[in-house]
Amino acid sequence: MGVESKSFSLLFVFLCLLIRYGSRGENVLLVPTPCAESHWFTLAKVGQALVSRGHVVTAVVPEDIAEKRRAERPDFKFETFHDQGTSALGNGEVDRNHSNMTQRSVYGYVKAGIDISNLITKHCDLLLGDIDMMSRLKAVQYSVIVFDSCIPIGAILAAHLDARVPYIAINRGDNYFFDMTSTGVPLGLSYMPFIGFDFTDHMTFVQRVQNVVFFTLAPMMADWLASNTYDGLVRKYVNEKETIQSVVSKTDLWLRQFDHILDFPGPSMPNMVQIGGLHIGAVSPLPKVLESFYQSAGDDGVIVVSFGTVVKAMSSKRREIFTAAFARLRQKVVWRYVGEKPNGLSNNIKMLAWLPQNDLLGHPKTRVFITHAGSSGVYEALHHGVPMVCLPLTADQPGNAARVVARGLGVKLDLSTVTTDQLYQAIVHILTNNSYHENAARLSRLYRDQPQSPMERAVWWIEHAIKHGRLTHLRARAVDLPWYQYYLLDVAAFLLAVCSAAIGTVWCSCFLVCRKICYKNGGKLKSQ
């Protein structure tokens, strides 16, 4: 017994050492964007996956939402600061932009953009200027910083805390085109449309002209806006010689929420990793009330309707259009809606303030998904093989809808002009045309057939950065080149000069030879 007891004790000590040193977690810092609630969900999903791997995850959030975040993610640590309500104001402005997008003028959009930019500047200044919080963050010595590049405050924070710490961006679209200018990736403007356009990779001549003009002017405007918003903060908290462009260009990895099953293939850099649909998890059983509603649908099935977290309510006119179209269907309808319920709501419609969207789309009775074509919902529908009716609003949604149509996954309607008949006919068209369901099922199989899930891939790369530090070998030299070198204008000027000199030399030589010949011939004629 003594020998067995001693052996057991040694084994116990060994296991304790293995747990302590073999699976030691690292400190990870998450920096969410101050606007757009849906962006936090994605970042939090990545953080939760890192927690499950034994890492200690801390998120930087304003004081007024700290309790909400703690309730959502009890496994996280949180560092808080007083943002003077800038985050709430920014979210409110974003919501108004999306809810009233059809009523706002160009001037209204420009003014809203400037207002949001001013709020972001103030928000970031309050975050970076919180001396006590910065001292605590520096004391922890984080192994990696992960941020949402929609608002690149995470890059500034990383440079401010410790230049040796790798930082990683998660993005789908970028307000400032940093995913283009800070990676050096070449743009194929003839076949790679801007994600905000409802173009495909088969563009017409006019669409290609629009694409080229946009990518010529928009990055310049975005660069001006980014400089005015962030350069002062960079000079104040990082270095007088740095700019927001130079700071973001040092990003080690870009975890991009794209996948070639849905998105159009294009060039990429080694530090750009595709993780489209990383938020999708296993399907859970529905709550009893919803499951009962689903079962009552019989073989006709259920249609899921959701316009995401941004659109809180519809106008009364549009609400009546949707309600009238759904009332004509044999299918049951589960509709995520927050606001005043319409009059005469038919029995086949269930309106809820929140939906377990992934679980609903993964249910075998779900037939169609009606969506604003936000990337999260589109990827969930792709994963589960559910055809879509897209009514895009803004941002990347028109491009997402164009991709859905191009892949044969669904149809697109104009939310600002849609009628009851158009919506009803679109739904019936999807329900009765087997090609949409067959395409959805085929693309779902392709999407799922990966050696790693998108989340596993994201976590692997984050841990790769934790293990090896700054991944400078993956960053293209292109991001450090002056524009005239990147476009080889200096080489072109040199070759033009050489060619001009050579042509000039040949021309002068020929001229002199011809002149000499003519002179000799003229002299002979005179002598005769």
Which tens digits make up the pLDDT trace of 30-86? 999 887 777 888 899 999 999 999 999 999 999 988 999 999 999 999 999 988 888
Q: Is residue 59 part of a domain?
A: yes
117 vs 49, residue with greater confidence? 49
Structure-block tokens of residue 286 = 């529905």
What is the rounded average pLDDT for all residues in the chain?
A: 86
Q: How many CA atoms are closer than 13 Å to the CA of 158, on its beta-carbon side? A: 31
Residues 268, 416, single domain; the answer is: no
Instruction: Please state the separation of Cα 420 from the chain's center in Å.
Output: 32
Measuring CA to CA, how many Å separate 430 from each of 192, 387, 393, 420? 28, 7, 21, 16
Residues 210, 67, single domain; the answer is: yes
Residues 185, 213, single domain; the answer is: yes
Residues 340, 471, single domain; the answer is: no
Residues 203, 142, single domain; the answer is: yes
pLDDT at 46: 94
Residues 102, 235, single domain; the answer is: yes
448 vs 21, residue with greater confidence? 448
Report, in this order, helix, strand and coil percent for the chain, each rounded to 5: 55, 10, 35
Write the pLDDT tens digit of every residue in 258-290.
Answer: 999 999 998 889 999 999 999 898 899 999 999
What CATH number does residue 476 fall under? 3.40.50.2000
Q: Is residue 151 part of a domain?
A: yes
Mean pLDDT across the stretch 414-422?
Answer: 90
Length of the chain: 528
Q: How far apart are CA 473 and CA 459, in angstroms?
A: 20
> Which positions ≥6 away from 474 have C-beta within 8 Å?
252, 253, 269, 270, 271
Residues 443, 460, single domain; the answer is: no
Work out the percent of the chain whose per-residue pLDDT is above 90: 53
Q: How far apart are CA 387 and CA 262, in angstroms?
A: 13
Q: Is residue 96 part of a domain?
A: yes
Q: Is residue 85 part of a domain?
A: yes
Measuring CA to CA, how many Å separate 56 from each of 327, 335, 404? 50, 37, 38
Q: Is residue 432 part of a domain?
A: yes
Residues 369, 385, single domain; the answer is: yes
Q: Is residue 503 part of a domain?
A: no
Does the pLDDT of residue 20 top 50, yes or no?
no
β strands within 40-127, DSSP E? 56-62, 77-81
Residues 31, 107, single domain; the answer is: yes
Beta bridge partners of 366: 302
Q: How many domains does the chain have?
A: 2
Residues 304, 404, single domain; the answer is: yes
- Residue that has been written with the tokens 């001006």 in this structure: 224
Which domain-ending residue is among 406, 428, 448?
Answer: 448
Q: How far apart are CA 297 and CA 317, in angstroms?
A: 28
Q: How many CA atoms are closer than 13 Å to the CA of 455, on its beta-carbon side? A: 18
* Residue among 375, 385, 299, 291 at smallest CA distance from 334: 291
Mean pLDDT across the stretch 177-195?
Answer: 87
Q: Is residue 499 part of a domain?
A: no
Residues 344, 225, single domain; the answer is: no
DSSP per residue, 146-191: EEETTSTHHHHHHHHH-TTS-EEEEESS-TT-HHHHTT-PPP-TTT
Question: Where in the sequence is the domain holding 203, given as residue range(s)?
Answer: 18-278+455-480
Mean pLDDT across the stretch 112-130?
Answer: 84
Q: Is residue 492 part of a domain?
A: no
Radius of gyration, CA atoms only, the chain:
29
Mean pLDDT across the stretch 448-461?
Answer: 94
Does the pLDDT of residue 23 top 80, yes or no?
no
pLDDT interval class at 237 (50, 70, 90): very high
State pTM to two decimals: 0.85
pLDDT interval class at 17 (50, 70, 90): very low
Residues 263, 294, single domain; the answer is: no
